[in-house]
A and B are shown apart, each in its own frame.
Chain A
């Protein structure tokens, strides 16, 4: 668990803080997304966790211990670090790049080699093909994958990721996000993930910390709560006018409580229960009817506009 306790940061020569009295907790095994407009201090907040930046006041606890209990370099070797610009070492092979932290920790060669191959497989790169290449020989998306593999190398319980998929085109980004969520299912790291993109935050986050300018925490909640019940005008406008639709995209039709169709579905469009509610809604509206039949493991069930509205009930307009 990572715990921010009244953390502030003011840079020397600047009157205004970039992070102001930040307090929140990141639970084990969760992805906590720090999101906000530029200048909201999200990257600064992240970099204070592994002490690339030292706070002006307050403290950060990791598993109950202040992160100042050990030297900065020792601390950083226990925390995975992946950034948007990736920062692969151009003069080292892919294998050597991934092996950076294990080498610092003096793992033996066989263990390092095994780990490198395992990680390349994990991020979907054939070790036989890519192990001995240099970063410049890889595409942007492949380099991002190597960056994530490198951050995971020593199996750190905590990962810091600063827009790790920011430097690739939207299609590749979406694929990398999906892959990473799949990997996270297996590895269950405690992750602090920085982005400026609210859609990425909603997709990746178990919990989202929305920061506003001056480094003030505007809201810290699950994506569902933030979309359904934004606590301030700032959050409402930051998540966007389509927040109800975004909320619907977080739920799959299979997760909804629906009545069995019982023969009343004659002539209605048929939908897969793997769709998100948002896509199902779009399909219903496209068909020009307010109802449809969902097919899936739960049998044939009836999806109505009322059921969809029920999901977002309680949301302020």
Chain B
């Protein structure tokens, strides 16, 4: 059965056979549909991932800083975010669409992606804060920096590379999970993959999968570069 919208030469036995066993990669289709299907899916995916990591960061930074100060809160926070992290993604999506006011669409996907990022991000914020040497904080206090100046001038800059390392892991994870979001009409590259599967059109599947992979790899490399850039003092020469 030829799928609607796909090239098919009706009545041609050979063409019918080709439709049943379609070409792996139809470059012609890619060229024709780049602007109105592939690019929007890619942009949608970037949007989903970045908004999710952004929101998760806004939640995780203050939470992580507070938890690093009030240590008793750390186990419950990791327990809760750990539970969120362990829910299978499809189950979480399915649950969220049943919540009144959320329903099907990108909102549910973003909420789920944020929930998945929290564990990694909060852990890395705390690890980053912990990595600040005690004597550096003591010297800062002893010289008359206020608590605020110590947080923003000493602790966060020193913790930042570790925090960005967490953002890397969260981003790569989220770019992957976001593809499943297409199942509940979240948009993104997952739409290409699901549509390609349901219409037995491998080109869509491959384009979606390859772009999702490339996106993850590129995001990882960019964040790695950022991590290095934020640690100029580690690029040292010995006197």
Q: Mark A59-86, 1 if CB is under 8 A from B, else 0.
A: 0000000000000111111100101011
A111 within 8 A of B: no
Residues of A within 8 A of B237 (CB): 137
Question: Within the complex, which residue of B142, B143, B146, B233 is in contact with A90, where a contact is CB–CB below 8 Å?
Answer: B233
User: In whole angstroms, what is the CA distance A261 to B210 when docked?
Assistant: 98
Binds A, one of B33-41, B104-112, B115-123, B131-139: B131-139
Q: What B residues does A72 contact at CB under 8 A?
A: 144
* A134-B233 CB under 8 A given contacts A73-B144, A77-B144: yes
Taking a contact as CB atoms under 8 Å apart, the answer to whether B239 and A76 are in contact is no
Q: Within 8 Å CB of A134, what residues of B?
A: 232-233, 236
Q: Are A85 and B135 in contact (CB under 8 A)?
A: yes
Is B215 close to A, CB under 8 A? Answer: no
Taking CB as reference atom, which chain B residue is nearest A135? B233
Q: A134-B232, A136-B233 are in contact. Are A87 and B139 (CB under 8 A)?
A: yes
> Which residues of chain B from 197 to 239 have any CB-CB distance to chain A below 8 Å in the complex?
231-234, 236-239
B143 near A77 with CB under 8 A, answer: yes
Interface size class of B (residues with CB under 8 A): 20 to 34
CB pair A101 B143 closer than 8 Å: yes
- Distance, CA A289 to CA B229, complexed state (A): 70
Complex contact B142–A52 (CB within 8 A): yes
Q: Which residues of A contact B134 (CB under 8 A)?
A: 85
Task: Report the nearest B residue to A104, measured CB to CB.
Answer: B144
A8 close to chain B: CB less than 8 A: no
Contact of B142 among A76, A130, A136 (CB under 8 A): A76
- The 8 A CB mask of A84-105 against B (1 = contact, 0 = none) is 0111111110000000110010
Known pairs A76-B143, A104-B145; A87 contacts B233 (CB<8 A): no
Chain B 158-199 near chain A by CB (<8 Å), digits 1 or 0: 100000000000000000000000000000000000000000
Task: Give the distance in Å from the alpha carbon of A100 to the alpha carbon of B141 in the complex.
Answer: 11
The complex places the Cα of A90 from the Cα of B230 at a distance, in Å, of 12
Q: Interface of A with B (CB < 8 Å)?
A: 50, 52, 72-78, 81, 83, 85-92, 100-101, 104, 129-130, 133-139, 142, 147, 150-151, 160
List 3 tightest A-B contacts by C-beta distance, closest first: A87-B139, A85-B135, A76-B144
- Can you give 5 A-B contacts (C-beta < 8 A)? A52-B141, A87-B137, A104-B144, A136-B233, A150-B143
